[in-house]
Amino acid sequence: MQVRPGCATSIAEVAKLRGMVEDEPVPLMAMQPPIERLQKIANHPRLSIRRLNPEEATIHTAIAAAGFGVPPELFEAMVTPALLARPGYRAYVGTVDGRPVTTAFGFISGDHVGIFDVATPPDHRARGYGAALTAHVVLDGFNAGASVAYLQSSPMGLRVYERLGFQTLETWSVWITP
């Protein structure tokens, strides 16, 4: 469960009563154009990026699960072919030599693009793939009419997103079931 700052403290009490414990907080981050440096970052010399077709949803879910270290079923329940067929919902894959190495999900609504599920499995990290794909999703959203990009960051991704130009708006508390 994620709780925005300023929400009633009773929410935390209910979480505790249900056996939940507080986890690492999650920053909500956003950026607006200008985006000059994003194009350079998105053009990674080894990475090919493309938008997935709805019937390719399992490519996203498999990479996301490997990147987050969770069972694929967690993502399969959320990112389905039916969802990707809807306007504004987009999944992307980045490949190196034809092999999928990173993924992300974008949602365009009005003048906003949300970036979710940015994931790179451990054996492909620290090569700029996640940053390149995130920049690509942001640019795709801006090209579709969005003027604000937003995301929530893990501790691992925070510096990457800051280098891309995202700024923390607020930090949400997170409650999990151990």
Q: What is this structure's pTM?
A: 0.92
Q: Which domain holds residue 117?
A: 2-176
Structural domains of the chain, count: 1
Number of H-type helices and E-type strands within the chain: 7, 8
Q: How far is CA 63 from the centre of its chain?
A: 12
Q: What is the three-class DSSP state of 86?
A: coil
Q: What gap in Å lies between CA 19 and CA 63, rounded to an integer?
A: 31
Give the CATH number, domain containing residue 99. Answer: 3.40.630.30
Cβ atoms within 10 Å, residue 126: 8
Q: Which pLDDT tens digits describe the chain residue by residue (178 residues)?
A: 999 888 867 888 899 999 999 999 999 999 998 778 899 999 999 999 999 999 999 999 999 999 999 999 999 999 999 999 999 999 999 999 999 999 999 999 999 999 999 999 999 999 999 999 999 999 999 999 999 999 999 999 999 999 999 999 999 999 999 9
What tokens does 83 get? 């969802």
